[in-house]
Structure 1
Amino acid sequence: MKKDKLYFLTFLSIAIIFLVVALIASQYFIKVSANQLIEVQVESSKREAGEFAKLIDFQLSSGLKREEVVTNIQEIIENSDIDTWFISVFNWSGEEVCHPDKTKVGEQVNSNETLLSSLKEKNNSDDLFDLLMGKSNTSTSEIIHISPIKNSDLIIAANVNIKSISLQMSALKSNFYLIFLIMGILVIIFSFIAVRVIGSAYEKQLELKNSSLTSEVVNLSKLNIDLVSYKEKVAVIPEQNTIEESSENEKQRILTYIRNELVPISIKDIAYIYTENTITYVVCFDDKKSTTNMSLDDMYTYLNPTLFFRANRQFIISIRAIDKIIRYGNSQLKILLQSKTSEEIIISKNKAAEFKQWLNI
């Protein structure tokens, strides 16, 4: 149940993150794409208006009357497509002279001077995009560029159909949202599958590690049980029998030094023996510490191997002094004694099997 909840929260997190990113990114991409589309149309309309202006200027320069030129232009642009971009002509008083929709001729031009000035100076479509997407806009069309005709009161205007372009922008916006929606669904689904697959693989690894750890714990528990059992066995063995089973070289006591004082210590009172800075120390169960001139190798030859174990190069420990055995590192064992030691007692991987066999004697 916990894993299912974790996967659900992962799925929910991915979905929320993508939703936030998509909302921000979609607005940016929509505006960039729309601006690029509008800029292309604006530049095209500017060129068309400029060519019309040159044509009319040429006709006027050739001696044609203004009325004839206006009539010709009206015949050319009349009934032309006004769904997106179109050309119109107005005079200095702001009155429409030529328009694709003949009913508009004679009406006053209603243009956004701020927009026209912005487009002329900055040569970009940011303001036009804001105008097209603005909800407060009620105009049918808007002039985006003007080309005055020399030696005449006529002005060529490039117009954009606000409502038609707005519909195109809305369609573009819908397409982007649809694309992001499809991408979002695919990304979320594939991300969830990837998380599930990776999570399952990781869970299997954890299960293997837990299984291995459980096995180690069981082995250590058995080892500690063997330790207790062996301690009990040692405790009930009569001292005389222990002495008889020991080797001929085994001693019942050894001589040690405390400063300049010679002190005999019974073997059964020794908890552990260790070396430090080439000096051999003998520590008893009452925590009394003394030194000896013998090395650990020499000491071990005089000790009962059923009661003492050479843990490593530095320590010889008594079975009665061991408190706990715990797992350490890679298949190594760490021995905790009843008395604290200055150094950790670590039994290497190679010697761990010998130690386990020693406890099973």
Structure 2
Amino acid sequence: MEKVRLYILLFVGISIVTLVAGIGACSYCYHTAREAIWNHKMESGRRETREIGRLLEEQLDNGQPPQKVIDNLQQSIVNTDAQSEFVCMYDTNGIELCHPDPALVGQKIDAGNSLFIRNGSPAPFSDILHLGKAGTGLRSFPVAKHRSSEIVTVYPVKGSDWMVAAHANVTVLQAQLDNLYHQFMVGIILMVLLISGSCFLLIRLIYGKYERQMDQEILRLNKDLAAKKVAESTRKRLVTYQRDEMVSLEVGDIAFIFLSENSVFVQTFLNQRHTVNTSLDELMKQLDNDIFYRANRQCIVNVNAIKTILVYGKNQLQLVMHPQAPEEIIISKNKAAEFKDWLDR
């Protein structure tokens, strides 16, 4: 349960960090893109009005009547989309000469109709037209609240009092920017999910591998500790008696231990015999089971003292010891398989 909780907290933490970083990056990209689009619209308006203005100048220079030039321009822009971007033409007195909506042709712009904001300085749009100079700015409509602000670029046509104007609806442009922002946000969310999921899976994979290694290491340490405890619990020496003497024997010097006439005897590799006051059951608990084996109820043998193993009777085994045991050491058929496994350690 703790592991699941840890994984959940890890995933949430990575997601929050990635989301915060993503939102910051999205905000930066959005403002950068917004500025780029805004500048592009202004530059596009300048280029469009300049090209149309020069085309009109060329037509006038070729001797075409001014009214014919105006009519040609009106025919080329009539009924075009005036909601987002459009081109029109005024004269310096503020009279509409050409417009996509023919109903507006001939109307004059009032001084209070709109303001033209350029470099932070507002001025009536009619005054900008009256100056007859090229310029780009934001046109707003303080009186007509329902009308959207526009990015307007004006360009004077040489040899006339005409002013070609390119309009870009700010509301439409803002809607495009909002759509761009939403696309950025969707991309950021997908990126957050992808990065968070990838990091989560990668960390879980690395942690899982590390955890398995730690489990193996802990298991190994536990085995070593258990073996150490067993080694510490096994006897190193055994106190025995020989006649009236107390003798301390090294366990490694014992060839076998046997029970005879209710007494426990210890036989050494030097063929010396001693007695002990401990039962075979207790001795077996205290001896190293890798070295000593309880052959039967009467005898414990040291593997190093086994000289020969003979097949005895039906599925029984007989151990020939060195030094020689006082009685035959027989392993019953029930313990024969266990004895073989003990030898194969």
Q: TM-score w.r.t. structure 2 length?
A: 0.55
Counterpart CA distance in 2 for 1:85 and 1:98 is 15
User: Match for 1:101: what amino acid?
Assistant: D
- How far does the alpha carbon of each residue in 1:168-191 deviate from its partner, in whole angstroms, 9 at most, with x for none? 222222222222222322332233
> How many residues align structurally?
225
CA distance in 1, matches of 2:8, 2:31: 35
Counterpart for residue 190 of structure 1: 198
Q: Pick from 149, 159, 162: which aligns with 1:151? A: 159
- Between Structure 1 and Structure 2, the one with more helix by share is 1
What amino acid maps onto 1:97 in structure 2? L
CA deviation string 1:98-149 (max 9, x = no partner): 22233444234543323799xxxxxxx9x98xx9xxxxx9752423422222
Alignment of 1:231-250 (within 5 A): 241=247
TM-score relative to the length of structure 1: 0.52
What code does the residue aligned with 1:169 have? L
Whole-angstrom distance in 2 between the partners of 1:224 and 1:40 = 86
Question: After TM superposition, where is structure 1 displaced by more than 6 Å over at least 4 residues in a row?
Answer: 234-240
TM-aligned CA deviation for residue 198 of structure 1: 2.1
Secondary structure in 1 matching 2:108: coil
Report if the CA contact (8 A) 2:239-2:247 is conserved: no
**Partners of 2:241 and 2:175 in 1: CA distance:** 100
For residues 77 and 151 of structure 2, what CA distance do their matches in structure 1 show? 16
1:239/1:36 CA distance change after superposition, 3 Å: farther
Question: Match of 2:116, SS?
Answer: coil
| Separation of aligned partners in 2, 1:239 and 1:176 | 97
Letter in structure 2 aligned against 1:91: D
Contact 2:95 2:109 in 1 (8 A): yes
Percent identity among equivalent residues?
A: 26
Aligned to 2:168: 160
- CA–CA separation in structure 2 for the residues paired with 1:235 and 1:144: 116
Instruction: Give the aligned residue type for 2:165.
Output: A
Give the conservation status (yes or no) of the 8 Å contact 1:116–1:143.
no
Asked whether the 8 Å contact 1:78–1:99 carries over to 2, the reply is yes
Q: Distance in 1 between matches of 2:55 and 2:241?
A: 126
Q: Which has the greater radius of gyration? A: 2
What is the CA–CA distance in structure 2 between the aligned matches of 1:151 and 1:115, rounded to whole Å?
31
Which residue among 202, 219, 222 is the counterpart of 2:210? Answer: 202
- What is the CA deviation profile of residues 225-255 of structure 1, one whole-angstrom value per residue up to 9, with x for unaligned ones? 34xx548x58999998569xxxxxxxxxxxx
Supply the distance in 2 between the matched residues of 1:50 and 1:101 (Cα, whole angstroms). Answer: 22
- The letter of the residue matching 1:31 is H
Superposition CA RMSD, Å: 3.7
Identify if the C-alpha distance between structure 1 residues 219 and 63 changes in structure 2 by more than 3 Å, giving closer, same or farther: same
| 8 Å contact kept, 1:30–1:173 | yes
Q: Does the Cα contact within 8 Å between 2:94 and 2:108 map onto a contact in 1?
A: no
Contact 1:112 1:143 in 2 (8 A): no
Q: Compute the displacement of 1:223 (Å).
A: 3.6
Query: Is the 8 Å Cα contact of residues 240 and 247 (structure 2) preserved in structure 1?
Result: no
Counterparts in 2 of 1:182 and 1:61: CA distance versus 1, 3 Å: same
Once the two structures are superposed, residues 192-245 of structure 1 have per-residue CA deviations (whole angstroms, 9 ceiling, x without a partner) of 22222222222111100111111122223334434xx548x58999998569xx
Please give the alpha-carbon distance, in whole angstroms, between the structure 2 residues aligned to 1:75 and 1:28. 43
1:16 corresponding residue in structure 2: 16
Give the residue type in structure 1 aligned to 2:191. M
Question: For each residue in 1:139-161, what CA deviation from the matched residue of structure 2 results, as whole angstroms up to 9, or x when unmatched?
Answer: 52423422222233222122102
Quote the Cα distance in structure 2 between the aligned partners of 1:239 and 1:157.
Answer: 128
Give, in angstroms, the shift of residue 29 of structure 1: 2.3
Shift of 1:17: 0.9
Q: Distance in 2 between matches of 1:41 and 1:100?
A: 19
Structure 2 unaligned residues grouped into runs of 5+: 123-135, 140-144, 250-345
Contact 2:90 2:163 in 1 (8 A): yes
Paired amino acid for 1:69 = V
Aligned residue in 2 for 1:61 = 61
Which of 106, 109, 114 is matched with 2:108 structurally?
Answer: 106
Q: CA deviation at 1:46?
A: 2.6
State the AA in 2 paired with 1:112: I
The whole-number CA distance in structure 1 between the counterparts of 2:221 and 2:248 is 38
**Cα distance change of structure 1 residues 52 and 67 upon mapping to structure 2, 3 Å threshold:** same
- How far apart are residue 7 of structure 1 and its match? 0.4
For the residues of structure 1 that align with 2:80 and 2:51, how far apart are their CA atoms? Answer: 17
Structure 1 residues 213 and 236: CA distance shift in structure 2, 3 A: farther
Question: Taking structure 1 as reference, are residues 94 and 39 closer, same or farther at Cα in structure 2, changes over 3 Å only?
Answer: same
